[in-house]
Structure 1
C-alpha cells in the first residue's frame, strides 16, 4: 500500500531512472535503496562542481528518509520542522498566513528580502537564486506562489483605481445634482454721501434685523448712529453671547434705479459663508421667457455683504 503511494510522488526524471534500473521486480526496500543512491550521487556531483575546500558553499542534502516527503510538502510552501516565513509559526503554510494577506506585494517583497528568504517557495533556508522548487501561480502560471504575483497585484491596483474613480464621479454628480441649494440673493446698490457700491445681498424672510459687513462700512465711510447689545438666536435653539453692534442708516436701490428704500442696518464681521449662484443658461432662458429676470448670476460679486429682513 505504501509502495505505490511513494512511487507516484516521485518526480518524472527520478521515476524514469527507477524503472530503468529495476525493470522486473520492484518493492519498497529496493525503492528506498535506489533513492539513497540517487541522493548520494547528487551529493558527489555537487561537491565535484564546487570548490572542495569551501565547505560553507555546500548545501546540506536531506537524508533519504525525508527526500520523498519533502517533495509533497514543497507544494504548499512548508516542510516538517520549518515555520511560516511571515509569522514564524508552524501551524500553517506561508501562503495561508493572515499576516501576509494584510500586506501589499511591495511589503511582502521587502520583508522576504530583509529575512534573506526565498521569494519563490517562501522558505528561509535559502535565497531565491538557489531555489529548487517549482510552484505555479494560479494567475500568470509562472514560477511563484499567487500571493507573490506582480501581474495580479497590478490588476488589483488598476481595479481599485477604477472603482475609486467611478465612486468619485458618482459623488460629484450627486453633489452637483442634489446638494446645491439656491437662496434668495440679489445684487443692489448701496448709496451713501453720493457714493454708490454694488453688493450682493441675501433676502432673509426669517430675520428680524438687517445687516452689512464691517468691511463695507469702512469702504463707504459710514458713521454709526447708535449701539445695540444683541443676542442672536440660531437654528436648533442655539443662542450666541451678547455682543455690541453699531447701527447705520443706508439707502438701497436696484440696478435699474427705479426702486429706492432706506434701511437701518447693524454691522457684522461675516454675514454667511459662500452661497452658490444660478449658472444654468437653459433655466435662465426659461425664466426670461416667463418675465423673470435674475440679476445675481455669473457677473455679480461672490461675497454676501448684506442681509435684508422682509
Structure 2
C-alpha cells in the first residue's frame, strides 16, 4: 500500500493512472471490492493464518505455488539467463539463485560444453527432503565464471552434477494476463515461447544480476 501511494499507482490494476481512469473490470478476490487483492486488509489477515507452501504436478512437470483457501497463487522462482565462461568457451545457462543453499552447482551438460576439467573433489552428506538417511557423495569441483550485465566475470566454485531439477513450467498465460506490467521491465529471465526450461546452474549467494523475476 505504501508503494502504491508513493508512486501514485492505480489501486485496482497497479498501473500508472488513477483508479477513476482504470478500465480493468477485476475486483478483489477476497472482498470483491474495487482494489487489488494484494492491497486487501482481509486478505492479509486470512493469508497469514491459512497460507501454506505446496507443490503440484501438472503433466509430469513440477510447479511451485502457494495455496490459500483453495486458490492457487503462482510464485516465481528467482531465475536468470546469463553466459557462463571458462577460458574462451561460453554457454548461456538458466540459473537459479538459491539463497538457502550452501553450494553452487552446474550440470554435466554445461560443464562438457565448456570443457570443464575438475581440479578437486568434495565429499557431501546428502539427504532427500523429508528423509533423515544420508548418502555420501564424492563430487568433482571446478571454477567457472558468470558474466553479469556489466560485463564483469564473477568466479563461481561449482560442484558438477548430472542434473539439478526437473524442467520448470512457464505459465505465460498468467504472466500476460495478470502481470502485464512486466512488459516494461528488463527481466533477468526474459520470457520466451518455450513452455518450460531446465536449470543448468544454481548459485547459493545473493543475486548478482539484479533479478526482477523469479
TM-score w.r.t. structure 1 length?
A: 0.39
CA contact 1:211–1:267 (8 Å) conserved in 2: yes
Pick closer, same or farther for the CA change 1:189–1:230 going to 2, 3 Å. same
Alignment of 1:90-105 (within 5 A): none
Provide the secondary structure at the position in 2 that maps to 1:198: strand
Determine if the alignment matches structure 1 residue 201 to structure 2 residue 201.
no
Determine if the alignment matches structure 1 residue 307 to structure 2 residue 195.
no
Q: Give, in whole Å, the separation in 2 of the partners of 1:308 and 1:237.
A: 24
Shift in Å, 1:205: 1.1
Alignment of 1:1-310 (within 5 A): 178=72, 181-254=75-148, 256-279=149-172, 280-289=175-184, 291=185, 293-298=187-192, 302-310=197-205
Provide the secondary structure at the position in 1 that maps to 2:181: helix
> Which is bigger in relative contact order (C-alpha 8 A, separation at least 6)?
2
Pick closer, same or farther for the CA change 1:191–1:278 going to 2, 3 Å. farther
Q: Give, in whole Å, the separation in 1 of the partners of 2:190 and 2:133.
A: 31
Structure 1 unaligned regions, length at least 5: 1-170
Pick closer, same or farther for the CA change 1:272–1:292 going to 2, 3 Å. same
Greater helix share, structure number: 1
How many residues are matched? 136
Shift in Å, 1:271: 0.1
TM-score w.r.t. structure 2 length?
A: 0.54
Q: Give, in whole Å, the separation in 2 of the partners of 1:181 and 1:239.
A: 30
Q: Give, in whole Å, the separation in 1 of the partners of 2:76 and 2:192.
A: 14
Pick closer, same or farther for the CA change 1:296–1:273 going to 2, 3 Å. farther
CA contact 1:181–1:276 (8 Å) conserved in 2: no
Greater strand share, structure number: 2
CA contact 2:91–2:110 (8 Å) conserved in 1: no
CA contact 1:200–1:306 (8 Å) conserved in 2: yes
Provide the secondary structure at the position in 2 that maps to 1:261: strand
Structure 2 unaligned regions, length at least 5: 1-57, 66-70, 206-214
CA contact 2:106–2:202 (8 Å) conserved in 1: yes
Shift in Å, 1:188: 1.1
CA contact 1:227–1:245 (8 Å) conserved in 2: yes
Q: Give, in whole Å, the separation in 1 of the partners of 2:170 and 2:100.
A: 21
Considering only aligned residues, what root-mean-square deviation do their CA atoms show, in Å?
3.0
Q: Give, in whole Å, the separation in 1 of the partners of 2:179 and 2:150.
A: 22
